[in-house]
Amino acid sequence: MADHGAKTAGTRTGKPKGDKFAATKPLQLPAVVPDAPAAALHEGRPAHPHQNLDRSVMAAMAQVTGGVSPHAVADAWTDWWLHMARAPGRQLELIEKAQQNTLRLMQHGVAALTGKADEAPFSPKANDTRWSHPDWAKPPFSQWQQGFLAVQDWWDHATDDLRGLRHKSAERTGFMMRQMLDTVAPSNFPALNPEIIEKTVETHGRNLAEGAAHLAADMVQTLTQAKRPIPEDYALGRHLACTPGKVVFRNDIMELIQYSPQTDQVHPEPVLIVPAWIMKYYILDLSPENSLIRHLVAQGFTVFCISWCNPTADQADLSLEDYRKRGVMAALEAINAIVPGRKVHANGYCLGGTMLAIAAASMARDGDDRLASVTLMAAQVDFVEAGELLLFLDESQVAFLEDMMWEQGYLDRPQMARTFAAIRAEDLIYTRAVRRYFLGIEDLPSDITVWNGDTTRMPARMHSEYLRGIFLENRISAGRFAVEGRVIALKDITAPMFVVATESDHIAPWRSVYKTQLFTDNDLTFVLTKGGHNGGILSEPGHKGRHYRISHRQAGARYMGPESWLKGHAPQPGSWWQEWTCWLARTSGATVAPPPMGAQDKGYPALCDAPGTYIHQG
């Protein structure tokens, strides 16, 4: 039996450490069917040594642009401008729109000056909290706010779909224009923001001095790329990720944690949790009161969870297949040894859910029936409607990111953080900046903000394969994704499924998650819960204001579209966690005595206490 406790480093082959411009092996994609176009484009073609000069130039440019391809930006604006230039009717429409917005703005201004009550003609978007201070409703601040919102409204209309214009170009130009407008919002300027003025008068300017100190500290942190230390009150293993357990398996990709039982009897089928490798697993084991893992254990389940490593440049050549085989499948083998003769309830979150769906489909294809059920939380199997993360994902952008990762061996934490922050820039960037730099308010840590700052890297080869094969080419639902040389099909999965989507998810939009029902034929329960990508999943019982919708589709039933489904299923108050644990219990056998912690005689000894060692990798 191999030493399961040993950690081995991967070998970086994407770029040699010697001559920077030496010939390199191109990144390989997962196997696809022979007629797939990507196979001809990206596999088997020898790279000319001079191409590495191009890659180095692109990598340097990517550091300047934050990983955004200039071609993708220019292409969107060119497409929009050329179609707008040949559309005089649309131009007249926009002129009329500008006149209407100006007139509404003037009427509102006159009403404000004369003291007459007047409803604001323009309203902020649902998630825009920059205008929450009551003085934004009073002149002159109301005029500045309404002027900004009027311009924003006009540009939303100008970058709307236009006949002949690629839909992606319309979305891209709209997104970029929102980003540009956000930089000049009146809420960003101390002299125009009533909240900043009020705070400055109240504190005699101390808020600006404290904000300047915060700005200086953040600039140093950005320049040095130093990771912020986790506050002592949120120490890992004591306050967060503190559910008791043992690491029972370790390789170079992951540690497998088995959690200690908290009940005298447990359901016989263990639960395996597969988190996303873009995050550290303890989003599912935060504080004791909102830990999904602790809740499962308390409900009498034997829980195992994968804790992924934080890859370095030496692991740049880790592939999607490595994560499937030496991650998910290796975890299943360990669980089968520790809890022999029992099927496994598998749960995948975000990208971990996508990987679990791939693993489940390949197991079903091969007649491997070790899964008792499959749960997917905020996870997609089809990426046609994958939200704003797809806005700039095209061949140029993927190649640009590949060159950046080729240079450094991985996609780094700040590069991913900027991408996610840009999706909700008005809240995650500008509102925070105003509070921190002009109001002098220190960021108060919480369990989820501590986790959010504890980001991980992504190995170059795996991320390239993911972007190309899954995001860009959508191979899973298109029937073009192969494992070990043979195509997989989601409809082969016969184990019952429990699929969870969240209402305001910007990363995995609920309608995209819902499409799991379009590509499967098995017994499936679908839940749509209140909240976003993380907050909706962390919906512990007793959480105020939570609700969810739930439905059950029998195996072989006809497909219902998302809009019809939404109309036909009313929200129910409470937490979806209770629905899920009851569902797991119904698909499990009669309770038994808890299994041992690990199986030393089978090569799976208890290596250390949870949360293990990989969670501390910086």
For residues 537 and 588, is the Cβ–Cβ distance under 8 A? no
pLDDT beyond 80 at 264: yes
Please indicate whether residue 305 is annotated as part of the active site. no
Which position has the higher pLDDT, 469 or 53? 469
Q: Which residues contact 596 (CB under 8 A, 6 or more apart)?
A: 338
Which residue is associated with the tokens 């893992």?
293
> What is the spatial distance between Cα 603 and Cα 490, in angstroms, rounded to a whole number?
33
Entry field: residues in the chain: 618
pTM value is 0.84
Tell me the C-alpha to C-alpha distance, in Å, between residue 123 and each of 71, 126, 146, 427: 34, 9, 8, 16
Tell me what pLDDT residue 8 has.
39
d(CA 327, CA 306): 8
**What does the pLDDT look like over 351-403, one tens digit per residue?**
999 999 999 999 999 999 999 999 999 999 999 887 666 676 777 777 777 77
Q: What count of other Cβ atoms lies within 10 Å of the Cβ of residue 250?
A: 22
For 506-560, the pLDDT digits (tens) are 889 999 999 999 999 999 999 999 999 999 999 999 888 999 999 999 999 999 9
Could you say which of 242, 305, 350, 582 is catalytic? Answer: 350
- Does residue 595 have a cis peptide bond before it, meaning omega lies within 30 degrees of 0? no
| Helix or strand holding residue 272 (H, E) | strand 271-274
User: Which amino acid is residue 221, in one-letter code?
Assistant: Q
pLDDT in tens, 52-106: 777 677 777 766 666 677 888 888 899 999 999 999 999 999 999 999 999 999 9
Task: Give the fold, CATH level 3, of 240-384+474-616.
Answer: Rossmann fold (3.40.50)
Choice among 5-19, 251-265, 439-453 with the minimum mean pLDDT: 5-19
Please state, in angstroms and rounded to a whole number, the distance separating the CA atoms of residues 152 and 185.
Answer: 10
* CA gap 500, 493 in Å, rounded: 17
> Where exactly are the structural domains of the chain?
240-384+474-616
Tokens 């005029």 locate to 143
Q: Are 320 and 466 in contact (CB under 8 A)?
A: yes
Q: Tell me which residue of 336, 324, 314, 311 sits closest to 248, measured CA to CA.
A: 336
Other C-beta atoms lying within 10 Å of the C-beta of residue 404: 24
